[in-house]
Amino acid sequence: MTSSRLLTVIASVAALATLAGCSAGEGGAVGATASSGGEATPVPSGVATVTAEGEALEYPGAAAEDQALIAVLATFEPSEALLEEQGLGFRGLRAGEEAFTLASEWTAYEHRSVDPAVCGPVVNLLGGATNEDSTTRADDPTVHTGAFFAIADGVSGFDESTLRARILDDPESASAMADLPASADACTAFAESGSVGALNVEDVVIARIGLDGVDAPVTRIDVHIVDLVDEAAGSVEVIDLPETTYYVAIGRVMVRFEVHEALAQDQVAAAVIAELADAIRAVEP
């Protein structure tokens, strides 16, 4: 499992649909990929690589108007004061990790089922996806900002708190995505099924909260991931994993911060989101 445990597990079932022929990448999510040599991933033909004025795009495939925001999110580094105060370390992208992809990368979410249906919006938000990622929202950039870890633990995949973001067309769209309909409060457990397997999640708790220093409403989702059933292989992977994730709209950016249970979660989330918000607003007040 990767450093973003919840995103990886939730996406696993959607990926099962992809393996059955519902490709998550049709249309192509294109991102500048860090490598040990500093070279970018080749860009497919037909993807924009320059602006209308002929200037090279730093993040080919993303719209020119999104370039500055992607750069801020992909290169964000918290202050030393924050890290010291919270007892944290931080890492940016590892070699081979994509700075960003487009939302069309996540269209497999459109090919899975959620039981009960009232949990559908919850599953989408947990994965940072929508039901329009192959159509009207296909070009939304999704950015991997980096990961925090407790100093005492060192850099460990299971101990990391991952920070990601999605850029939408306007602040209203970002706010709508970061929130959940009132009906979603009835979601307390769900099974998410792909073509050959199912993910079982219990103890779902949705809270709309305020965080110190963050001047926007925050959605906090707590879940307990029980197991992942692979029907094709006839196996059950017991996961037994609690997760807490925060969602907030900063301008037209929907921020997603999955905070490890060993940390003072609300406190860490408040400090990190407040600093990231300052960086976002420096580009788009």
In whole angstroms, what separates CA 45 from the centre of its chain? 27
pTM: 0.81
Work out the angle between the directed axes of helices 265-283 and 67-74 (0-180°, nearest 10). 150
What's the pLDDT tens digit per position in 224-247? Answer: 999 988 877 778 999 898 999 999
Tell me the residue type at 41. T
Do the Cβ atoms of 280 and 272 come closer than 8 Å?
no
Cis peptide before 44 (omega within 30 of 0): no
Do the Cβ atoms of 171 and 281 come closer than 8 Å?
no
Do the Cβ atoms of 66 and 94 come closer than 8 Å?
no
Selection from 20, 1, 7, 4 nearest residue 197 by Cα: 20
Total Cβ atoms within 10 A of residue 79: 12
Predicted local confidence at residue 14, as pLDDT: 45
- What percentage of the chain reaches a pLDDT higher than 90? 54
Predicted local confidence at residue 198, as pLDDT: 85
Predicted local confidence at residue 27, as pLDDT: 30
**Strand pairing class (253-259; 161-167):** antiparallel
What's the pLDDT tens digit per position in 87-124? Answer: 899 988 887 788 899 998 766 555 678 999 999 999 99
Per-residue pLDDT tens, the chain, 285 aa: give them: 333 555 555 554 444 333 333 323 333 332 333 333 333 444 433 345 555 555 678 898 899 999 999 999 999 999 999 999 998 999 888 877 888 999 987 665 556 789 999 999 999 999 898 888 889 999 999 999 999 988 865 555 457 899 999 999 999 999 999 999 999 999 999 999 876 678 999 999 999 999 999 999 999 999 999 998 887 777 899 989 899 999 999 999 999 999 998 889 999 999 999 999 999 999 999
CA distance 280 to 3: 24
Do the Cβ atoms of 203 and 165 come closer than 8 Å?
no
| 216 conformational bin, left if phi > 0, alpha if psi -120 to 50, beta if neither | beta
Predicted local confidence at residue 50, as pLDDT: 53
Do the Cβ atoms of 209 and 220 come closer than 8 Å?
yes
